[in-house]
Structure 1
Amino acid sequence: MKQLIFIAILCCLLIPGYTYCQKQGGPDYAVGYSLDIRKIALEKLKADKAAGMDYIEIAGLGSFVNADLSLKISQDEWLLKCDSLATVLKKAGVGVWSIHMPFSSKIDISTLDEQQRQQVIRMHLQLLEGLYRLHPQVILFHPSYYLEPNKRAARKDQLVRSVKELYSAVAKAGRQLVIENMLGPSLTVGERERPLLRTVEECQELFARFPDQVGIAVDMNHIAHPEHLLLAFGPRVKTLHVADGDGTKESHYLPCNGKGQNDWNKIFAALEKIKYKGVFMFECHYETTDQLVQCYRQLQQNYRNTKQ
């Protein structure tokens, strides 16, 4: 029995952001939140760490990309900037769990324009050359932007092509590639089709065509009943975007403000069932990072109360 306890403790120490706390009634996750790269500053991160924030997801990278998909600064300057950010993060003791790669109508890895698709891939690889210096564990991509009507099948083919290329590069660097599910209560909105990966079924269809080691990032604001998507993908769930909503619009509510419709006890139960080992990564509206940490603890305690 002592050996089993020792092994369990050792596993907890070796898996970042995860402790399996059966005595407490369920798993305990490290907490993180999405932060614009332009807002990374030593004193801010020190305050985040003191509040109980262990990780960040770096966002806002589109601010470094021109309309023609070139970088706004030279590659050497970009590498130096990333080195500087790495120093700040190390001093603050905050880790980079994930990188949210940029996306837009032009930055779309499913584009039908093959020349542009190749430019998009090259731009991502340029950014990643510097971003790897921040020691991220997860590299996250959107599958597409909004689509022109009746091109979904061709867009899926392009997405698969891009994911295979990106996976090769990201895996070689020793990082986990993930693709995020997108909002899609209906196929169309106005004259456009919704982005790819809009339903559980479409996610399953496309992930069957991706390399097996490509994971999914489950955005809980993009789908009604996100626990269904969690359970459908099990161990392929590698990271989260935690926010509340109703699956019909981009709400990004703080889960504890009561505005959304997610059932957080069911979500926690699904995370426990699939043995999720990542970070509880908030991507929502908030006032202070302390508010995010307290919200996580409230959600966690509510779930534990259901198990007693």
Structure 2
Amino acid sequence: MKNLLITLFLLLGSFSGNQIQAKDKKFPIGYALDIKKITDEKIKYIKGLGIDYIELAGIGAMLEKNLQETTVDAKWNVRMQEIADILKRHKVKVWSVHMPFSKHLDISRLDEEGRLRVLEAQNNVLKVLKPVKPQIILFHPSFYLENNVRDQRAMQLKKSVESLNKSVKGLRATMVVENMLGPELTVGDRERPLMRTVEEALMLFKTFPKDVGIAVDFCHIAHPENLLAAFGSRVKTLHVSNGNGKAEDHLLPCDPRGSNDWNAIFATLERIKYKGVYMHECKFNDEKEIVDCYNTLWNNYQTSKKTKH
């Protein structure tokens, strides 16, 4: 039933009265792809669909999950060069890299020795990324928190961002920090991660270096256009999906179960002069759904602008 609803939505959009040609698309398209799934066949296929950028996902596989070791096995140097060669053959680029995150890899850890081990591990991963020449390096601000330590965690985050930003600039890339899900402060017996609201994100970013940007995840917050507007030119990348800001749904944008206002989102992206990739981090059965959905939503937006005039 879900797939039928999505198909009907796409078909209706495809046959809307004022079609906008593909060449008029405002933003280049990208999507998150696990490093283990990158093959010549896959990259050739997505290039044919019009996807020119990817975000490297699944990077956590490079590290021991409990951080008993901070090193990265040499096999990942070989794999990253393979990925670089595949992408070059098909003229697809790495726009962004989603850096590892977990309870143990939390860059806001309170124990200083543990925090420094996390930075050591993250820096070891960054060294492996050189062959793919990423433009954006994305970090989570924290994992879930203990109760009543939010201010202390924010201070630890500030120190980590300052340090990691220097390493990221060494790759000639831009560091971004992603907003996190948080419809309420607590869930169960713990607090939500840092950057759960527009207000908290703004407060934290006042303490970060000015060249650190934000990654706006459309699933993590209700009305993501408000977060986009609040950060303006500091919005450096996106995680596009549908949702309602209450759960990690990461639905295909055309999935009617989500409540994002795509016309408002596109209008805000144009208003803040967003210059990055329209990077999807969403569920799908085939990458063609991502492209078709994007075209439908963009065409609908263009039609709505003409109607207003």
TM-score where L is the length of structure 1: 0.90
1:41 to 39, 42, 48: 39
Residue 230 of structure 2 is matched in structure 1 by 232
1:113, distance to aligned residue in structure 2 (A): 1.1
Distance 1:147 1:237, change over 3 A: same
Aligned twin of 1:274: 272
Using the TM superposition, give the Cα deviation of residue 81 of structure 1 relative to its aligned residue in structure 2, in angstroms. Answer: 2.0
Q: Deviations over 1:178-213 (max 9, x none)?
A: 000000100000100000000000000000100001
Q: Distance in 2 between matches of 1:38 and 1:23?
A: 34
Match of 2:291 among 290, 293, 306: 293
CA shift in 2, pair 1:274/1:208, >3 Å: same
203-212 or 171-180, larger mean C-alpha shift: 171-180
The Cα shift of 1:70 comes to 2.7
Cα distance, 1:284–1:69 mapped onto 2, change above 3 Å: farther
- Higher mean alpha-carbon deviation, 148-157 vs 85-94, is at 85-94
Structure 1 131/47 Cα, relative in aligned 2: closer, same or farther at 3 Å?
same
CA distance in 1, matches of 2:230, 2:68: 35
Contact 1:69 1:119 in 2 (8 A): no
Counterpart in 1 of 2:179?
A: 181
CA deviation after TM superposition for structure 1 residue 64, in Å: 1.7
8 A Cα contact 1:69 1:123, kept in partner: no
Gaps of 5+ in 1: 1-21
Match of 1:18 in 2: none
Deviation, structure 1 residue 175: 0.5
Correspondence 1:225-264 to 2 at 5 A:
225-264=223-262
How many angstroms apart in 2 are the aligned matches of 1:208 and 1:269?
26
Show the 5 A alignment for 1:11-50: 28-50=26-48
Change (3 A) 1:69 1:225: farther
Within the candidate set 215, 223, 235, 1:217 is matched to 215
Q: Map 1:116-195 to 2 at 5 A.
A: 116-195=114-193
Following the alignment from structure 1 to structure 2, what is the Cα–Cα distance between the partners of residues 302 and 157?
A: 44
SS in 1 for 2:46: helix
Residue type of the alignment partner of 2:94: V
**Contact kept? 1:52, 1:290, Cα under 8 Å:** no
Letter in 1 for 2:188: G
Letter in 1 for 2:243: G
Residue deviations 1:210-249, cap 9 Å, x none?
Answer: 0001000000000000000000000000000001101111
How far is 1:168 from its partner? 1.1
1:133 Cα shift? 1.3
1:95-117 deviation digits (Å, cap 9, x = unpaired): 10000001001010000011111
- The one-letter code sitting in structure 1 at the alignment partner of 2:203 is E
Q: Work out the percentage of aligned pairs sharing the same amino acid.
A: 51
| One-letter code aligned to 2:220 | H
Q: Which amino acid aligns with 2:60?
A: G
Between the aligned partners of 1:57 and 1:118, the Cα distance in structure 2 is 26
Summarize the Cα distance change of 1:256–1:186 in structure 2 as closer, same or farther, 3 Å threshold.
Answer: same
- DSSP-derived class of the 1:216 partner: strand
Equivalent residue for 1:63?
61
1:98-117 matches, cutoff 5 A:
98-117=96-115
After TM superposition, list the pairs within 5 Å mapping 1:196-207 onto structure 2: 196-207=194-205
Question: Which residue pairs with 2:8 in the alignment?
Answer: none
CA RMSD of aligned residues (A): 1.7
TM-fit CA distance, 1:71: 5.6
| Amino acid corresponding to residue 160 of structure 1 in structure 2 | K
DSSP-derived class of the 1:205 partner: helix
Determine helix, strand or coil for the equivalent of 1:257: coil
Conserved 8 A contact 2:220-2:247: yes
Deviation string 1:240-276 (CA, Å, 9 cap, x unpaired) is: 0001101111111111121101000000000000000
Write the distance in 1 (CA, Å) between the matches of 2:25 and 2:46. Answer: 22
The structural deviation recorded for 1:68 is 2.4
Corresponding pairs, count: 286
Give the partner amino acid of 1:103: F
Q: What are the superposed Cα offsets for residues 143-180 of structure 1, whole Å, 9 maximum, x if unpaired?
A: 00000000100000000000000011111321000000
Are the aligned partners of 1:46 and 1:93 in contact in 2 as well (CA < 8 Å)? no
